[in-house]
Structure 1
Amino acid sequence: MATGRPDDGKGARVMATADAGGAQVKSAVRTVELLEYFAGRPGMHSLAAVQEAVGYPKSSLYMLLRTLVELGWVETDATGTRYGIGVRALLVGTSYIDGDEVVAASRPTLDRLSDDTTETIHLARLDGTNVVYLATRQSQHYLRPFTRVGRRLPAHSTSLGKALLATHTDDQVRKLLPETLPALTEHTITDREQLIEELHAIREQGISVDREENTLGLRCFGVAIPYRTPARDAISCSVPVARLTPAHEQMIKDALFDARDRLTLATRRL
């Protein structure tokens, strides 16, 4: 387990500030960082493991954890010695999805795209160096991928992320991503400059492709929704390589372009 404070993928810590002086409110920052630590690591964790990761003094960490347990943001196991994310975090996440205008506006288009392609459909948002899944429609086939709402994946390894990164300038991408990118599979692009070259092609073609770069055996196609510049949301279609034919691939691309145009109209006032 890596040491040091957990990173939310944005390249910056939570910037909670006091009204006077702009100084960070330490307890607020630590609280949010703890919740993000648990959100990014499913399951239960010992106090020692949490302390090793976040680096807080054990006594103050224990008191903070106990407070969060009492408030329902963190849960413990039967022994009371292991900690994980609590149910109140789910309530906040659900509230975010329920209140998001883009998610609401995209529902008819996602439904139609799912019917047209019969494959798994996703709507995701760029969050720092990651994409976060906001909505999904499951494939109608027995062999299908599964991605839950709220999941976070590296932008550079997904069609969704690459479609969104392509709406940024090369310099913006260089500031956002490190020179060496983590590999999720043997096909992941791990060199930032090589990724930037692919982003050039995506800008020209209007569509991105994940060629088993995030999950072996799975190819994904993505398009950004240009209601903002740079774009922050994208939609994708995922299909197992074993089921992908040239004709099916072209149909998916055509359906994604049609869905993009529909969502551009649906979100033009947002």
Structure 2
Amino acid sequence: MVHNPTYRVISILQAVSNHQDGFTLSELTKETDIPLGTISPILKTLLDYRFLELDSSTNKYTIGIQSYYIGSSFVSKNSTLDLIRQEMNSLSNDCNETCQLGILKKGQVFYLIKVEGQEPIRIVSEVGKTLPAYTTALGKAILSRYTETELESLYPAGLKALTSNTITDMELLKKQLKDVKATGFAIENGESGEDTSCIAVPICQNHEIVAGLSVVYPSFRETKEKQDFIKTALLKYKSNIEKILVEHNLI
């Protein structure tokens, strides 16, 4: 039996964590289907204990620092994620660039693990943040598992641009995802950030795509030789991580 008061708290935190820009009170009430009179005291308590934050300029609720601490504690202490992080450390060292592991949440990529590269100029990203999946190589690697109908249902309002290079044509996105299925690699060229390049592969568990693994770097460092090297490295560590998932059944 579901305990409704607890379920409401969980619904609020899940909704806010899946939406990078946050929700106003009315939007959050609609999103969670919790009446205004019921949700208001819950939000006040979550604010008081810093599980949520309220932006006074937009009146939008976003995820708070205490939620981040709890999530960070899980990531840092979970032995399976430690094993995956070790593989990602090796991948980052091999490529000398930043690598990331992410999952999909309601059409958004949620970054679960990140290992920084050692180059003095590198792409800045954050664990726990989200981006529209169609704007990132990592996201496109995961989206390749969906049918065209399922893909359209993920983005009923269409594809919004983050940069001048972001794909906003659903048919073009579908074509790119077919290429991902055919080649095993997803590519990003300045779609989530003007000067960002990225290559990603899907991570599978029980023959289903459950996550994505990527190497991201500034576009000015891109060469054909670098792309080929990263692709070879990604395939190696994809295999290693998938073996970990089979043994530990994490994601």
Q: Give the conservation status (yes or no) of the 8 Å contact 2:20–2:130.
A: no
Q: Give the conservation status (yes or no) of the 8 Å contact 1:224–1:235.
A: yes
1:103 aligns with 2:120: no
1:29 aligns with 2:3: no
Which residue pairs with 1:133 in the alignment? 111
**Cα distance change, pair 253–39 in 1 and its aligned pair in 2 (3 A):** closer
1:28 CA drift (Å): 4.3
Q: Give the conservation status (yes or no) of the 8 Å contact 2:141–2:186.
A: yes
Judging by fraction of residues, say which structure has more helix: 2
Corresponding residue to 1:54 among 28, 33, 39: 28
Greater gyration radius: 1
The alignment partner of 1:232 has SS state of strand
Which is worse superposed, 119-128 or 52-61?
A: 52-61
The alignment partner of 2:205 has SS state of coil
Q: Give the conservation status (yes or no) of the 8 Å contact 2:18–2:130.
A: no
Q: Distance in 1 between matches of 2:179 and 2:105?
A: 23
Q: Distance in 2 between matches of 1:100 and 1:70?
A: 28
AA aligned opposite 1:32: S
- TM-score norm. by structure 2 comes to 0.81
Instruction: Report how many residues are paired.
Output: 241
- TM-score norm. by structure 1 comes to 0.76
Q: Distance in 1 between matches of 2:157 and 2:13?
A: 28
**Cα distance change, pair 229–235 in 1 and its aligned pair in 2 (3 A):** same
Stretches of structure 1 that go unaligned for 5 or more consecutive residues are 1-16, 20-24
1:169 CA drift (Å): 2.8
Which residue pairs with 1:242 in the alignment? 220
Q: Distance in 2 between matches of 1:266 and 1:18?
A: 33
AA aligned opposite 2:222: L
Which residue pairs with 2:170 in the alignment? 192
Q: Give the conservation status (yes or no) of the 8 Å contact 2:166–2:191.
A: yes
**Cα distance change, pair 102–221 in 1 and its aligned pair in 2 (3 A):** farther
Which is worse superposed, 206-215 or 249-258?
A: 249-258
Superposed CA offset, 1:191-248 (max 9, x none) = 2222111111111110000111111011100001112443121110011111111111
Q: Give the conservation status (yes or no) of the 8 Å contact 2:95–2:230.
A: yes
**Cα distance change, pair 102–166 in 1 and its aligned pair in 2 (3 A):** farther
AA aligned opposite 2:205: Y
Q: Distance in 1 between matches of 2:93 and 2:51?
A: 38
Superposed CA offset, 1:87-132 (max 9, x none) = 4312331244246565233122101101110001001111120111
